[in-house]
Amino acid sequence: MPRYLSMIRIDENNAPEGGPSAELMQRMGELIEEMTKAGVLLDTAGLTPTAEGTRVHYEGGRLSVTDGPFTETKEVIGGYAMLQARDKAEAVEWTKRFLRVHEEHWTVTCEVREVVEG
């Protein structure tokens, strides 16, 4: 069965102060449990803010290293989910369910892409 990476994109400059509510975390936990029992969710996690990140860039044979935050970036990867699904449509459906557990004041985009195998 193919694997899909759902990259969770947020604008960390406009994310709700205080992060996810207790209710959101509960709904998310319930969905994660359902996805795990269904054998769809292989791994998931949130990521630290860009202020704690480092970019390593390669261009023209040269490497550069830049510490965060990356203020010029509008959207950042705030987390991910690795899914194993029958097809892309199923992976997208699970991703839609993930987005629906959020309250209306959240703005979240997920990019779903198939993992290229071996």
Domain with 82 in it: what CATH number? Answer: 3.30.70.1060
Total domains, the chain: 1
pLDDT digits (tens), the chain, 118 positions: 999 999 999 988 888 888 899 999 999 999 999 999 999 999 999 999 889 999 999 999 999 999 998 877 778 999 999 999 999 999 999 999 999 999 999 999 999 999 998 8
Q: pTM for the complete prediction? A: 0.89
Segments of 32-71 assigned E as strands: 41-46, 54-59, 62-67
Nearest residue to 98 (alpha-carbon basis) of 85, 108, 88? 108
- DSSP assignment of 72-86, as one string? T-SSEEEEEEEEE-S
Residue 18's pLDDT is 83
Please give the structure tokens belonging to residue 15: 């994310």
Q: Domain range holding 13? A: 3-114
Kindly give the residue spans of alpha helices, DSSP state H, lying in 8-70: 22-37
The helix or strand, by DSSP H or E, that contains position 98, with its residue range, turns out to be: helix 88-100
